């Protein structure tokens, strides 16, 4: 839920807070796919479609869309939901490059997926 301390002076979710939440969702999806530590390398092509008002619920959906040798692309959708009516609309969409790293923070290969791996985080 969006609370007043997360909003700008217009009463809508501050863009920086939206990006922070989306980055966390990308982290979860990439970590679940790689099952190894990951870090964000970049945030790409973030599109703010509609404002999210104070009092609305936000739903984040993240999915790994590309796996390279050491990096993954994670697309994240932020959907706004009116608390009382349940009406939903796509508010923000963005892509994040996440890199698998070792204990020293150096890139490492992304392991092949197991049959039971999950590429989606909500």
CATH of the domain at 97: 3.10.129.10
* Contact predicate 21/121, CB 8 Å: no
Domain membership flag for residue 122: no
Cβ contact 111:61 at 8 Å: no
Residue 30 has pLDDT above 90, yes or no: yes
Q: How many Cβ atoms are within 10 Å of 60's Cβ, its own excluded?
A: 19
Please give the pLDDT value at position 113: 78
What mean pLDDT comes out for the span 52-56? 98
Task: Calculate mean pLDDT across residues 30-38.
Answer: 97
Domain count of the fold of the chain: 1
Domain that holds residue 20: 4-111
**What pLDDT score was predicted for residue 117?**
47
Q: What is the pLDDT of residues 77-120, one digit of tens each?
A: 999 999 999 999 999 999 999 999 999 999 999 998 764 445 45
Residue 94 lies in a domain: yes
Q: Where residue 47 falls among pLDDT bands split at 50, 70, 90?
A: very high
**Contacts for 50-53: CB closer than 8 Å, 24+ residues apart:** 50/80, 50/89, 50/90, 50/91, 51/10, 51/12, 51/13, 51/91, 52/2, 52/12, 52/13, 52/18, 52/78, 52/80, 52/91, 52/92, 53/2, 53/11, 53/12, 53/13, 53/80
Contact yes or no for 58/93 (Cβ under 8 A):
no
**According to the model, what pLDDT value does residue 112 have?**
87
């Amino acid at each position: 839920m969006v609370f007043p301390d997360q909003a700008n002076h217009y009463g809508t979710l501050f863009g920086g807070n939206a990006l922070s939440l989306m980055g966390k969702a990308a982290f979860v999806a990439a970590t679940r796919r790689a099952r190894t530590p990951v870090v964000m390398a970049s945030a790409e092509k973030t599109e703010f479609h509609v404002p999210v008002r104070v009092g609305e619920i936000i739903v984040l959906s993240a999915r790994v869309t590309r796996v390279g040798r050491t990096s993954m692309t994670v697309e994240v959708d932020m959907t706004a939901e009116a608390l009382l009516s349940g009406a939903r609309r796509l508010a923000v969409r963005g892509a994040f490059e996440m890199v698998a790293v070792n204990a020293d923070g150096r890139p490492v290969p992304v392991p092949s997926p197991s049959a039971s791996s999950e590429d989606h985080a909500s």
